[in-house]
Structure 1
Amino acid sequence: MNSVGKTYFKSRAVGRLSSKNLNELKSNLTDIEVGKEKLQKEINSTNEKLRKQKSELSWINWFPLKLALQTKIESMKQVVEETNETLSKLERDYDKHKLGLEISLPEQLEAAFGTLDDRFSEMIDAEKVWDVTTSQSIDRVAERTTADNAIERTEVCLRRAHNSKIQCDYKALHLENANGGDLHIYPQFFFIEKEDDFALIDLLDVNMDFSLTNFIESESVPIDSEVIDHTWAMSNKDGSRDKRYADNYEIPVVQYGKLHLSSKSGLNEVYMVSNSESAYGFKIMFDEYKEVLASSETSKNSEHTGRLLS
């Protein structure tokens, strides 16, 4: 099968994904992250300096004529103490130097996000979730199959998670991404990180489409999925068994739920869920949540603030 007509579900480079209205916030958070990295380098350097000072002091204390070097020993002890104090201060500054977002939600919006989280829990409980990375039309006659499309998929995990760069009171709804940065859904934006860059996409800029897909399942059928038909490994034009193949065998056709997440900035991710009802429920609540978010004062007067947590 060639690659003609193959559709790739892959988002743009992370550095180009952010919504325009969140570029300033991204810049502020980047500055904070740079400061954090600088502190880490200073901590590493000071630790190495302290190690050498302690080693020198230990050697002098062992030296047989250390009484003659008492003044130097006392001086070295003072130096070690000062370096220890410097290291302690750097470590305290590092602990405070986190990417903090002040996210204040009105009661109605907080309740809506809680319901969205509940629908996400139902998807977490699905037996299988896959990231669909490509889809390609099939010549059914040439391939001797009843399938319309061939897809490439990778099983992924859904969970709730804190992110090291975002410190707030809400756990993100975390969707693994097989061919890019993982998606973290916060109350007002999507956070996506890949290697040394990240993106912030306004949640209102994200569209989520749902569809049912009939999939010829060559692997084990998830217990929470519906088998709606059967086909043959090799079939005739009308879908009947091709009797020319003695070892031809029957394959179940399973119905899954499919979610397509997209944005004008270039988000383009597709997930297939074994429990189609849970995927549909999440899509419906996501749309309802967007309506509440759009009408809320938080959305109209967005004041996302990047700051150092103390």
Structure 2
Amino acid sequence: MKFGIRMPSLKRRIAARTSWKRYVRHSMGLKAPKGMGILTNPKKALYNKVYNKTSVSVDDLLRAPSHKSNNSSATQRSTIDNQYPTGIEISNTGNIIRSSSKALTVTSKNFEELRKQITDIYNQRVELLKKLSSAKTKQFFITLVHFGSYLVIVGFFYKKIADARKAQQEVVIDLEKQVSETFVQLTFADKSQLEKSWLNCIDTFKELMDSEKIWDITYAEGVDRVKTRTVAQTATKRTPISKTDREIEFVKSDLPHLFLPNTNGPDLFFYPTFLLLFKDNQEFGIFDLKEVKATMKLSGYVEEESVPKDTEIIQHTWKKANKDGSMDKRFKGNYQIPIVKYGDMTFESEGGLEESFMFSNFDAFTEFAKTYEYHVSLLGKL
């Protein structure tokens, strides 16, 4: 048994690090957890324990002394976080979620005429808004001249300036009226079963948008479960979105629409028979709802952020887990993470549409999924 300082051996260090046995153990995950040596080779384990107590390595003497911190557990947790992608979804496909920008140039054949109408109306509004802006500028300067004329007393006698101001006000009012009346009117209401099913969609969608948390899934990729030591199959990047309502000012409908804001592409406007992708007044795409593939499913999500109150914890996993889901004891600071129940909603089409959203309220999500799928099934019968 050796006492004191251990003499370093460069030859042994190189041999140990180039050993094929070591490579096999590490690469194939066959390395036994720390502390298991007492079971596999008790004699060697006891020898090593005494040897480490009675001798010291040169490396230990040269290494800077470590300072103990009260936040050691937090530091360990942070270190593990850097090795592991946050927000792991269990049931996704592992594909990249693309932006639907390409779909802005696509329109279903059934709605090509509608696209033309929207484009024409938009162009008319552009011309009217230019005229309105010019008229308001002219009105502003005439008003300045009118008030200035009273300062030099001319305004009390010369009434043509006041008449010009009044005439210009009428021009502005007329142009504003034309702008407000320039829009595409969509008519769906006919007291049919289709209208009733859409109104049911509106009601369930409102409850769904009251979810405590809503995310736009912007990216998803497969996870190497052996390397990351996780039970999850997919790592996702998500962006929170808030409950908002938006109108397209030159498209009006006699029935309400559904609106989903999009953080990495055009917003989604759902009408009873079609989906309108709208980025701005010049870029939009129209898709027949019958051509849009809607996938709505349960998603078990490894939630490392705060758990929303309107969701349900299915089970727990570990930050670093074995293949069977048990705790990997080789990692210090390993901790449990809840797997929660979320609703996963994806819309796809052959025209390039691919958008995915996640909702914390799975019960509301289920109700909306039922009403939406029923509505689309009615469209298929038309």
Same fold (TM over 0.5): yes
Q: Which residue number in structure 1 is paired with residue 285 of structure 2?
A: 199
* CA spacing shift, 1:245–1:268, aligned 2, 3 Å: same
Instruction: Note the C-alpha offset of 1:159.
Output: 5.7
Higher relative contact order (CA 8 A, sep 6+): 1
Identity of aligned residues (%): 31
* CA spacing shift, 1:125–1:77, aligned 2, 3 Å: closer
Higher radius of gyration, 1 or 2: 2
Which residue of 20, 31, 35 maps to 2:124? 35
Q: Deviations over 1:106-131 (max 9, x none)?
A: 42111111222233233223322211
CA distance in 1, matches of 2:299, 2:161: 73
Which residue of 98, 111, 114 maps to 2:183? 98
Match of 1:177, SS?
coil
Per the normalisation by structure 2, the TM-score is 0.69
* CA spacing shift, 1:236–1:290, aligned 2, 3 Å: closer
Instruction: Note the C-alpha offset of 1:151.
Output: 0.5
Instruction: Note the C-alpha offset of 1:18.
Output: 2.2
CA distance in 2, matches of 1:51, 1:122: 47
Q: Which residue number in structure 1 is paired with residue 348 of structure 2?
A: 262
Match of 1:13, SS?
helix
Structure 2 gaps, min length 5: 1-82, 84-93
CA distance in 1, matches of 2:139, 2:379: 52
Match of 2:321, SS?
coil
* CA spacing shift, 1:117–1:86, aligned 2, 3 Å: closer
Asked if structure 2 preserves the Cα contact closer than 8 Å seen for 1:126 and 1:275, the reply is yes
Q: Which residue number in structure 1 is paired with residue 108 of structure 2?
A: 19
Which residue of 221, 225, 229 maps to 1:144? 229
Report the AA paired with residue 48 of structure 1: T
Moved more, 92-101 or 7-16: 7-16
Q: Deviations over 1:234-277 (max 9, x none)?
A: 22343322223221111111222211111222221111222333
CA distance in 2, matches of 1:161, 1:149: 32
CA distance in 2, matches of 1:159, 1:187: 20
Count of residues in Structure 1 that have an aligned counterpart in Structure 2: 289
Structure 1 gaps, min length 5: 297-310
Q: Which residue number in structure 2 is paired with residue 182 of structure 1?
A: 267
Report the AA paired with residue 172 of structure 1: H
Q: Which residue number in structure 1 is paired with residue 313 of structure 2?
A: 227
Which structure features the higher share of strand residues?
1
Asked if structure 2 preserves the Cα contact closer than 8 Å seen for 1:231 and 1:240, the reply is yes
* CA spacing shift, 1:134–1:179, aligned 2, 3 Å: same
Instruction: Note the C-alpha offset of 1:220.
Output: 1.4
Moved more, 13-22 or 138-147: 13-22
Alignment of 1:284-295 (within 5 A): 284-295=370-381
Question: What is the RMSD computed on CA atoms of the aligned residues?
Answer: 2.4
